[in-house]
């Protein structure tokens, strides 16, 4: 059995389509989506509707999905203080996303436990403790043990940071960040997803898969979007 795990699509239609094509080509039976589906790309309605129409998929809510679902002037003003670029993108996305699609995001749960074979797998966006907590490649292992100590799942899948990484902990738990489909924060800016293979003996193998696409074209599309920091935002999609 093969399982694909994707995260942080952020409204990037072209990246999502290329990744889903690769997932189908690899023969994945199940797909997990760890949230942040719509905000800060160029086609949020498409990415929401595409994923919710996809077969054999489990979807959880990311922190930006929650921002869209609960959007208010207070949320915009508070985000503007810490990240005016993201706040500006959020405001435009909220104006464009259909009410029916906002409801789909609102109804998502923040975490989900899935049992595959003899293993319990936790799907979370940031960490088991918090939807917006960061798990980076250099996260301290003692701190990581604290993040996962209250879950009885042996495999924890997360996203949020847009940087793929993985850990085998002394507690016996495996923690893997799937990276980002829509706006990778890696040097090469290449969309990434996680491919999980359930082997005949019941063991699990994990591989981060990178999928190339026309990121320069997407960057130019984002530059043309009508929000205050669109030009600065477009630079996040291309290698400097």
- Specify the pLDDT at position 117: 87
Q: How far apart are CA 159 and CA 62, in angstroms?
A: 9
pLDDT for 176 beyond 90: yes
- Asked if 6 and 181 count as a contact pair (C-beta separation under 8 A), the reply is yes
- Segment 143-157 shows an average pLDDT of 98
Q: How far apart are CA 185 and CA 153, in angstroms?
A: 28
Work out the mean pLDDT of the chain and round it to a whole number.
97
Question: Crossing angle, helix 13-26 and helix 44-53, to 10 degrees?
Answer: 20
Angle at 33 between CA 32 and CA 39, to 5 degrees: 175
pLDDT for 226 beyond 90: no
Question: How would CATH label the architecture of 2-233?
Answer: 4-Layer Sandwich (3.60)
Summarize pLDDT for 57-105 with one digit per residue, the tens: 999 999 999 999 999 999 999 999 999 999 999 999 999 999 999 999 9
- Asked if 161 and 134 count as a contact pair (C-beta separation under 8 A), the reply is yes
């Amino acid at each position: 059995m093969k399982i694909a795990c994707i995260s942080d699509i952020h409204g990037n239609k072209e990246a999502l389509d290329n990744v889903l094509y690769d997932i189908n080509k690899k023969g994945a039976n199940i797909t997990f989506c760890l949230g942040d589906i719509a905000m800060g790309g160029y086609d949020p309605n498409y990415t929401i509707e595409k994923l919710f129409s996809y077969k054999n998929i489990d979807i959880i809510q990311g922190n930006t999905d929650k921002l869209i679902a609960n959007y208010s002037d207070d949320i915009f003003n508070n985000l503007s203080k810490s990240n005016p670029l993201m706040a500006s993108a959020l405001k435009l996305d909220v104006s464009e996303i259909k009410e029916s699609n906002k409801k789909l995001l609102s109804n998502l749960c923040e975490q989900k436990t899935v049992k595959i074979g003899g293993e319990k797998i936790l799907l979370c966006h940031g960490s088991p403790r918090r939807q917006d907590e960061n798990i980076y490649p250099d996260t301290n292992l003692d701190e990581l043990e604290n993040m996962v100590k209250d879950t009885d799942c042996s495999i924890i899948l997360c996203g949020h940071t847009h940087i793929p990484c993985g850990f085998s902990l002394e507690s016996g738990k495996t923690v893997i960040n799937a990276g980002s489909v829509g706006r990778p924060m890696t040097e090469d800016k290449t969309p990434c997803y996680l491919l999980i293979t359930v082997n005949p003996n019941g063991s699990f193998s994990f591989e981060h898969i990178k999928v190339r696409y026309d990121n320069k074209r997407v960057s130019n599309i984002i530059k043309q979007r009508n929000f205050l920091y669109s030009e600065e935002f477009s630079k996040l999609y291309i290698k400097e």
